[in-house]
Chains A and B, each alone.
Chain A
Amino acid sequence: MKRVVITGAGTINALGANVSDTLEAMREGRSGISELDIRDVDRLAIKIGGQVKGYEPEERFNRQQLALYDRFTQFTLVAAREAIAQSGLKFEGELAARAGVVLGNSGGGMTTLDENYRSVYEEGKNRVHPFVVPKLMNNAAASHVSMEFNLKGPSFTVSTACASSNHAMAQAFQMVHGGLTPVMIAGGSESMLCFGGVKAWEGLRVMSKDGCRPFSANRNGMVQGEGAGIFVFEELEHAKARGAEILAEVAGFAMSSDAADIVMPSKNGASRAISGALRDARINASDVGYINAHGTGTAANDKTESAAVADVFGAHADRLMISSTKSMHGHLIGGTGAVELLACIMALRDGIVAPTINYDEPDPECALDVVPNEAREAKVDVALSNAFAFGGLNAVLALKRFA
């Protein structure tokens, strides 16, 4: 089997419009969560989010592109341009024919839906813009990445709620690992910070009105974020042959289904995915130095995830670090695993572990080293990234420091 490495990374999210700004914010434990600036926010009970601010679409895209790109597609392309530029790859000939793009996404073009529902229901119009369908479809982002970069291999979108990106990256990993293609673009995006998007989440009563405090005893729910994270997954020998800079190695993954409840998480499903990823990557549990937690800040997730980690790692659970960067960028739903992979790369490559900010009070049910409030320097050889979705669908990735 082929070894798979990451040779490019890109992002835009509430912490920054590129990887270096995002990692700097994570190192400094800065929060990107703020008052939402969206239409009809006064009719929402939840008025905060990890919204991307100061973003001017017109600076990045022309008029024709903007007519076709929902906000989630725009974010995806911004991140993909950064990742592919860093990799130095040009997709031509044989490479173009084999390379593809697999992205995770949950809501599709929610802003487009919201605006057009308003127009036909609220304003009573009987005509919508001709591009509503190609803008809102969940695969629009992956398709536009394939078109902009000439990727003609396997390309599709995975939609598994909060695990979408991890499932997508696992698929891309598998394709490169199995020798189907030397390069895949992978990651995910989300943009549902619009009135209808936030209102729907509000209905479930799991959102916090005042902040995301994962693992802290006073946590009271999740905070939504938006943005994208995109990576270049490349076969090791292919990357070496062209002298590419290697950010980290993707060593394995596992997926599991709880087969239990549509919203409540399961310790067993989570621990099967975590231990499965270790087995797939042939990694000893005791070598894991850092876990980027799913860590939503809900009562149920954080205690279930902590119990699953304790189960899998035994005594080593007290020695490893686990943090939730959602405390800073919010929960990007289908795009969350992609942005969170950046924290794993930072831990492995730079030796800096991102903190869980807003940590106020220890919770005996989450008694792990959650790297409270301040980033920490540490040599990390192996990092895991957890994602546990509504619907009980779990996906965990295992990464190694590339030396």
Chain B
Amino acid sequence: MDTKDKVIEIIAEQAVLEPSDVTMDSTLEELGIDSLGLVESIFAIEEAFDISVPFNANAPEESDFDISSVASIVAGIEKLVAEQKA
């Protein structure tokens, strides 16, 4: 399973949706994921990819991990995987 499919699976499970309902353009807000759901999703991402995501719920915009859409989350993970596995 590639990064994109895995991320969609994690987010769909959190949003209680089918993976087919989650697109790369979806935002977490549109999918009904609240702040607790976001923190849980990030934990699931860290576990799935064995990476550490620099995310502080108090200052999401300063976290250097863009959560504005599914596509930006996938891009962020690919970058972290490349850096942390290097």
Contact B57 A206 (CB under 8 A): yes
A219: interface (CB < 8 Å): yes
- With A220-B62, A298-B58 given, is the CB distance from A205 to B42 under 8 Å? yes
What range describes how many residues of B lie at the interface?
A: 10 to 19
A44 part of interface (Cβ distance < 8 Å): no
Contacts of B68 in A (CB 8 A): none
Number of contacts between A and B (CB, 8 Å)? 36
B36, B39, B52, B58 — most chain A CB neighbours (10 Å): B58
Closest 8 CB pairs of A and B: A299-B58, A221-B58, A205-B57, A220-B59, A220-B58, A205-B39, A298-B58, A206-B57
| Chain B residue at minimal CB-CB distance from A298 | B58
Q: Does B26 contact A (CB under 8 A)?
A: no
Compute how far the CA of A300 lies from the CA of B39 in the bound complex, rounded to whole angstroms: 15
- Contact string against B for A residues 186-208, beta-carbon threshold 8 Å, 1 for contact and 0 otherwise: 00000000000000000111111
- Is B35 an interface residue when CB atoms closer than 8 A count as contact? yes
Q: Inside 8 A of A203's CB, which chain B residues have their CB?
A: 43
Residues in chain A within 8 A of chain B (CB atoms) = 45, 203-209, 219-221, 262-264, 298-300
Contact B42 A263 (CB under 8 A): no
Closest chain A CB from B36 CB (angstroms): 6
Is the Cβ of A264 less than 8 Å from the Cβ of B39?
Answer: no
Would A264 and B58 count as touching, CB distance under 8 A?
Answer: no
Q: Are B56 and A220 in contact, CB atoms less than 8 angstroms apart?
A: yes
Closest to B59 in A: A220
A163 to B15, CA, bound (A): 32
CB distance from B57 to the nearest CB of A (A): 4
Question: Distance in Å from the Cβ of B32 to the closest Cβ of chain A?
Answer: 15
Which residues of chain A are within 8 angstroms of B55 by Cβ–Cβ distance? 205
Q: A45-B52, A204-B57, A299-B57 are in contact. List 19 more A-B contacts (CB 8 A).
A: A203-B43, A204-B39, A205-B39, A205-B55, A206-B56, A206-B58, A207-B56, A209-B56, A219-B58, A220-B56, A220-B62, A221-B57, A221-B58, A262-B36, A263-B36, A264-B35, A298-B57, A300-B35, A300-B58
